[in-house]
């Protein structure tokens, strides 16, 4: 799996955790091991510009996903998943820090960035949360992936509750 994590935000984030979690999520979703993905961490000003340009919405958001080859997880019948360029996930630690602090359970910026990273991966794979059934499926899968990764890392407790606005 070729995954690049590029922190352009000026904020210290656990880049290795984001890389490891992304790799775990893609493997769990059975994405071809030669597929490519970029994770870019930006400041609030850069995220606000992207949010306005691509969504026509003011203010910075927490995560944005830009799919390329529109890869989807393979069905159970498919033995070999397709290979390709997944796209880019853009994260904003300033928004993540605020959301983590405001969450009912309260959690760190890095924990929020972990949730947002998996959220971005799922968007790249075609998942959405516009409808209640879609939201239940996507957020359930998001929690299962983060919880599985946290357990594999020896981290205690379940993943924080989803707080994403994207």
DSSP helix/strand/coil, 149: helix
Percent of the chain with pLDDT over 70: 86
DSSP helix/strand/coil, 123: helix
| Predicted local confidence at residue 78, as pLDDT | 59
Express each pLDDT in 156-166 by its tens digit: 665 666 565 55
CA distances from 82 to 1, 2, 47, 120, 151 (A): 13, 15, 31, 19, 28
Q: What is the DSSP letter of 6?
A: E
What does residue 130 show for φ and ψ, rounded to 5 degrees?
-70, -40
Asked if residue 4 has pLDDT above 90, the reply is yes
Inter-residue contact 63 to 93 (CB < 8 Å): no
DSSP-assigned beta bridge partners for residue 112: none
Express each pLDDT in 57-86 by its tens digit: 999 999 999 998 766 666 666 566 667 788
Which residue from 39, 21, 40, 23 is spatially nearest to 31, judged by alpha carbons?
23
* CA 154 – CA 113 distance, rounded (Å): 18
Spell out the domain ranges in the chain.
2-153
* CA 120 – CA 99 distance, rounded (Å): 16
Express each pLDDT in 9-66 by its tens digit: 999 999 999 999 999 999 999 888 888 999 999 999 999 999 999 999 999 999 999 9
More confident site: 105 or 90: 90
More confident site: 69 or 132: 132
Q: Which residue has the tokens 């033995």?
A: 79
CATH architecture of 2-153: 3-Layer(aba) Sandwich (3.40)
| Predicted local confidence at residue 59, as pLDDT | 95
């Amino acid at each position: 799996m070729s995954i690049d994590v590029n922190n352009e935000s000026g904020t210290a984030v656990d880049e290795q955790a984001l890389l490891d979690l992304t790799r775990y999520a893609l493997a769990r979703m059975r994405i071809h091991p030669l597929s490519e993905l970029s994770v870019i961490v930006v400041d609030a000003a850069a995220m606000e510009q992207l949010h306005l340009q691509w969504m026509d919405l003011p203010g910075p958001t927490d995560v944005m996903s830009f799919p390329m080859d529109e890869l989807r997880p393979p069905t159970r019948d498919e033995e070999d998943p397709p290979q390709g360029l997944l796209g880019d996930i853009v994260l904003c630690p300033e928004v993540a820090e605020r959301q983590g602090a405001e969450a009912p359970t309260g959690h760190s910026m890095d924990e929020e960035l972990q949730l947002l990273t998996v959220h971005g991966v799922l968007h790249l794979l075609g998942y959405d949360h516009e409808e209640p059934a879609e939201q239940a499926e996507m957020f359930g899968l998001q929690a299962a992936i983060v919880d599985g990764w946290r357990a594999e890392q020896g981290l205690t407790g379940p993943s924080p509750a989803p707080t994403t606005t994207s």
